[in-house]
Amino acid sequence: MKSNKRICVIVPVFNEGKVIRNTLSELLSTPYELIVVDDASKDDTYLKIKDLAIHYLRHEINLGQGAALQTGMGYAVLLNADVVIHFDADGQHRIADLPSLLEPILEGKADVVLGSRFMNGTPGEIPLVRKVLLQHARWINGLLTGLWLSDAHNGLRALNRTAFSKIQLKENGMAHATEILIEVRKHKLKFMEIPVEILYSTYSQSKGQSAWNAFNILSDILLRKFFP
Amino acid sequence: MRPIQYILIPLLILLLIFFERRLKKQFLLKFVFVGVMLAALGFTIFPDTSTSIANYLGIGRGVDLIIYMSIIGLTSCCLLLYLRIVKLERQLTELVREKAIDAARGL
């Protein structure tokens, strides 16, 4: 799919020295620009990627993935980007999913496209605890945001300029995934889900959130709901 | 005078002076804190008043009334501090973000 739109992939990074170069090298094979937001990594992340043709932004203190994505989107506004993609650094997303993620936006059918790992039935390789958690998170998201999706907290998303210039993430932590849905509703953005695959590697699982973090996310969301 | 009064009265007076001096422009907070300290002094000097107020409200002892009020007061303090922290976090985030973006643009 060819397009003359300026498309930026935002990759939030925190201590991903082991895999970041692989993830970024793969992304560099696409025609999209890369905005890497280093959330104050303490490992060799910067040394691994400093020779790559990317936009490199660094937070001086660790703020969280939500804050890193917001920084990336703020920068994309200044770059005059037309579309941004949120893409996790740990190698859990597939580049092969990007064209279908972008398609509804480029065709003007949606402002926000969210990846879902459950649209084509439930894939077998999702760890059971995660599967149960995600099903409950869907319900909580639905009740809190009014958007009923087939997946919750999937990191792969695409947003057009209307969406990423309007959406302002205040949740610095992982609760941003729910906050995005709240913002989508608030700004009456058109959204769509498309099926994507998540690669559950040993690395991405060890780097990923533990199941207990679900409680932190829920309390963040509830606190901010009552004390905006 | 009872021994506890020798301990509580000077402490409360010190706290009273602390709040009076430290909260210069925050009139509402000053009013609340100084008011609470004055009430505490009053209850310390005339211990029976708290009991009669407590009895009037259907609570057995004056101390219990003061414990209930303290719990409400301390919980409110925690919430106020939480909101203050959230505000500081947002300001800090903005600063860190601006700096990161400026550096990337070569400013």
| Residue scoring higher pLDDT (A228 or A143) | A143
| Residue scoring higher pLDDT (A198 or A103) | A103
Backbone φ, ψ for residue A191 (5° rounding): -130, 165
CA angle A187, A144, A122 (to 5 degrees): 100
In the structure, what pLDDT confidence band is assigned to residue A113 with cuts at 50, 70 and 90? very high
Predicted ipTM? 0.83
In the structure, what pLDDT confidence band is assigned to residue A216 with cuts at 50, 70 and 90? confident
CA distance A4 to A42: 37
What are the distances in angstroms from CA A50 to CA A21, A57, A79, B14, B95? 10, 11, 20, 58, 24
Chain A positions in Cβ-Cβ contact with residue B92 (cut-off 8 Å): 61, 63
- Supply the pLDDT for residue B64: 93
In the predicted structure, residue A147 carries a pLDDT above the cut 90: no
| Residue scoring higher pLDDT (A148 or A97) | A97
Nearest CA in chain A to B98: A71
Taking a C-beta distance cutoff of 8 angstroms, is the pair A36, A68 a contact?
A: no
Mean pLDDT of A24-48: 93
- Supply the pLDDT for residue A206: 66
Whether A227 and B103 lie within 8 Å, measured CB to CB: no
- Supply the pLDDT for residue A154: 84
**In this structure, which CATH number among 3.30.460.20, 3.40.50.12170, 3.90.550.10, 1.10.600.10 belongs to the domain A7-226?**
3.90.550.10
In the predicted structure, residue A3 carries a pLDDT above the cut 70: no
Whether A63 and B93 lie within 8 Å, measured CB to CB: yes
In the predicted structure, residue B71 carries a pLDDT above the cut 80: yes
In the structure, what pLDDT confidence band is assigned to residue A4 with cuts at 50, 70 and 90? confident
Interface of A with B (CB under 8 A): 37, 55-61, 63, 67, 70-71, 74-75, 78, 170, 172, 223, 227
Residue from the list B79, B82, B96 with its beta carbon closest to the beta carbon of A59: B96
| Residue scoring higher pLDDT (A93 or A225) | A93
In the predicted structure, residue A132 carries a pLDDT above the cut 90: no
Count other C-beta atoms under 10 Å from residue A106's C-beta.
Answer: 17
